[in-house]
Amino acid sequence: MPHRVGVIGGDGIGPEVVAEGLKVIAATGVNLDVVHYDLGGARYLRDGTVLDDATVEQWRQLDALYMGAVGTPEVAPGVIERGLLLKMRFDLDLYINFRPFTAPGHDFVVIRENTEGSYAGEGGTLRRGTSHEIATQGSVNTRYGVERAVRYAFELASSRRKHLTLVHKTNVLTFAGDLWERTFNEVAEDYSDVATAYNHVDAACIYFVEDPARYDVVVTDNLFGDILTDLGGAVSGGIGLAPTANLHPGRVSMFEPVHGSAPDIVGTGLANPVAAVLSGAMMLDHLGESDAAERIRRACEQPETLTGTTSEIGDAIAARLR
Ligand code: IPM
Ligand code: MN
């Protein structure tokens, strides 16, 4: 039975890198039954569609979603991000944002809570555009949401090098930090095999650059995780290599590169498809095709040897699989 996968190429370089990812998956021999969805900034500019509920309902019947990148400078910030990408994450309850990194000689993973925090959309404005304007943007942290992310991270750490670091800002964000810290310490009692550590997020930024080897698994909130994973990409070979899984274990989940739509290089062949290819490998893990996933990861080792245009790199990775 082929796996049913919805593909959203999206905007900018998104369709270019997704095409390479699908090419590489096809070369593994894994059979996908692909449905393409024309969504993103370009579609919105054409007919006003961002993402309707009926489409999300169709997606619940799929095995996975594979996305390139969405967003275009012609559309106001937030419209596509909130209306498409965050709607996918929230409506499908993709509560784990799983971002693995390979720094020279060392690999580590950031588990970013993916449905709450500052991304939840709490807040509003009053007297907008006047000199008495107010804007608030709250951070929503539930025991349920924090605990399931923390538990997932402990489970993962337990299957790896048995070390988990909580990253937060407990010295300033005393309400949210307290909830995270207590939850982390309570769940830790169920994982006596996992050693734990805590870093404030600002200090973690230094360690990501100067001493990433201290990390195996990191767990953090949505916004800290967003920022920290761009840094993780930057210190481990560049954002062109960093993949993401947006997971609800056991249900339809979504796979995308960390990078954005990079409209400035669309059509030039400069886009590095490796992040999208590795996101495809994470999708294969989710689909139970771990052997094929592992072969793809091996083919992407030594990414510095993968040179040329977007499609030449895709061809080279596919050729290494045969
Ligand atoms: C990411 C992206 C998104 C995020 C944007 C595009 C909304 O930066 O996946 O990291 O902030 O989560
Ligand atoms: Mn980001």
pLDDT over 80 at 322, yes or no:
no
Instruction: Give the distance (Å) from ligand 1 centre to CA of residue 226.
Output: 6
Q: Which of 190, 202, 211, 291 is catalytic?
A: 202
Structure tokens at 250: 């056991």
**pLDDT-based confidence at 277, cuts 50/70/90?**
very high
Ligand 1 and 81: CB distance under 6 A: yes
For this structure, is 52 an active site residue?
Answer: no
Residue environment code for 83-115, b if the CB has 16+ CB neighbours within 10 A, otherwise e: bbbbbbbbbbebbbbbbbbbbeeeebbbbbbbb
- Residues 84-117: pLDDT tens digits? 999 999 999 999 999 999 888 899 999 999 999 9
pLDDT over 80 at 135, yes or no:
yes
Percent of the chain's residues with pLDDT above 70: 100
Mutate to test the pocket of ligand 1, among 8, 80, 85, 224 (most ligand atoms within 8 A of CB): 85
Which residue's CA is minimally distant from atom 12 of ligand 1? 226
pLDDT the model gives residue 105: 85
Instruction: Give the distance (Å) from ligand 1 centre to CA of residue 130.
Output: 30
Instruction: Give the distance (Å) from ligand 2 centre to CA of residue 258.
Output: 6
- Cβ contact 89:251 at 8 Å: no
Overall average pLDDT of the 295-322 stretch: 94
pTM above 0.85, yes or no: yes
Structure tokens at 211: 């001493």
- Residues 182-206: pLDDT tens digits? 999 999 999 999 999 999 999 999 9
CA distance 322 to 309: 21
Which atom, in ligand 1's list, is nearest to the CA of 86? 7
- Residues 210-243: pLDDT tens digits? 999 999 999 999 999 999 999 999 999 888 899 9
pLDDT over 90 at 304, yes or no:
no
Instruction: Give the distance (Å) from ligand 1 centre to CA of residue 195.
Output: 30
pLDDT the model gives residue 237: 87
- Residues 141-154: pLDDT tens digits? 999 999 999 999 99
- Cβ contact 219:111 at 8 Å: yes
CA distances from 91 to 56, 98, 123, 248, 261 (A): 8, 18, 19, 11, 23
Please state whether beta strands 3-10 and 64-69 pair in parallel, antiparallel, or not at all (unpaired). Answer: parallel
pLDDT the model gives residue 143: 98
Which atom, in ligand 1's list, is nearest to the CA of 244? 9
pLDDT the model gives residue 238: 87
pLDDT the model gives residue 262: 96
Helix (H) or strand (E) holding 242: none
CA distance 46 to 7: 19
- Residues near ion ligand 2 (Cβ under 5 Å): 226
For this structure, is 202 an active site residue?
Answer: yes
**Residue found under tokens 């895709």:** 314
pLDDT the model gives residue 1: 84
Residue 135 sits at φ, ψ, to 5 deg, of -130, 135
For this structure, is 226 an active site residue?
Answer: yes
